[in-house]
Amino acid sequence: SQTIHQWPATLVQPVGSPLSLECTVEGTSNPNLYWYRQAAGRGLQLLFYSVGIGQISSEVPQNLSASRPQDRQFILSSKKLLLSDSGFYLCAWSVGDSQYFGPGTRLTVL
Amino acid sequence: AQTVTQSQPEMSVQEAETVTLSCTYDTSESDYYLFWYKQPPSRQMILVIRQEAYKQQNATENRFSVNFQKAAKSFSLKISDSQLGDAAMYFCASGEETSGSRLTFGEGTQLTVNP
């Protein structure tokens, strides 16, 4: 069966510091991968998606970036965090039309 | 571009009773999918049910069923025999075949189940 991992689960970072969130998927090949952000009490905003290694599409221009160095690894990064980057970050995968989500990372920028 | 609207920010239901959550969507595509996700306090997003737009038959998963009205672009979720564990935020989402399975989410409905 397929599983998806995200780490860290919780992160507190100062403004201006770098960020690296990692997502890995097990039990499937060639998945589509997605990064979403969720503000408190709100819906999900798609940030990036990838259909293959090195292929990244950005949905929202901002100071975040994504990379896919391996088939089942998806990384969300920032060189300098802003206060507005605080939120809950969710990674998801799909093979076909349904998406399955990881446990998420709660990021607080102080 | 797709839009998904959930007009009920909060709903409540008595345990063992039935509740219906509303969702409307807008899309220019003829081939698309619709989903309901559940987000409990742990914040893990859990796929509850999916519907393919080309299928007229409403999807059912145990106590969860949908009422898909394609012409009205409506996709409601019915939860029968509500249980305390059903308490969560519920999100409606749509995805278009031509967009690499990207999903557009509504703002969610917070469901409370009263004992």
The CA–CA distances, whole Å, from A88 to A91, A99, A104, B60 equal 10, 17, 7, 30
Q: How many domains does chain A have?
A: 1
Between chains, do A51 and B106 touch, taking CB under 8 Å as contact? no
- CA-based nearest distance A79→chain B, Å: 26
Q: What is the pLDDT of residues A57-67, one digit of tens each?
A: 988 867 899 99
User: Which of B47, B100, B107 shows the shortest C-beta gap to A42?
Assistant: B107
Q: What is the pLDDT of residue B4?
A: 95
Between chains, do A43 and B44 touch, taking CB under 8 Å as contact? no
- Domain extent, residue A98, equals 3-109
Find the length of chain A.
110
Q: What is the pLDDT of residue A59?
A: 84
What domains can you pick out in chain B, each with its CATH number?
Answer: 3-114 (2.60.40.10)
pLDDT band at residue B99, thresholds of 50, 70 and 90? low
d(CA A10, CA A35): 16
CATH number at residue A84: 2.60.40.10
Which of B7, B102, B109, B111 should be substituted to probe chain A, the one whose Cβ sees the most A Cβ atoms within 10 Å? B102
Between chains, do B100 and A44 touch, taking CB under 8 Å as contact? no
> What sign does the CA torsion over B67, A101, B54, A57 have?
positive
Q: What is the pLDDT of residues A32-79, one digit of tens each?
A: 999 999 988 888 999 999 999 999 998 886 789 999 999 999 999 999
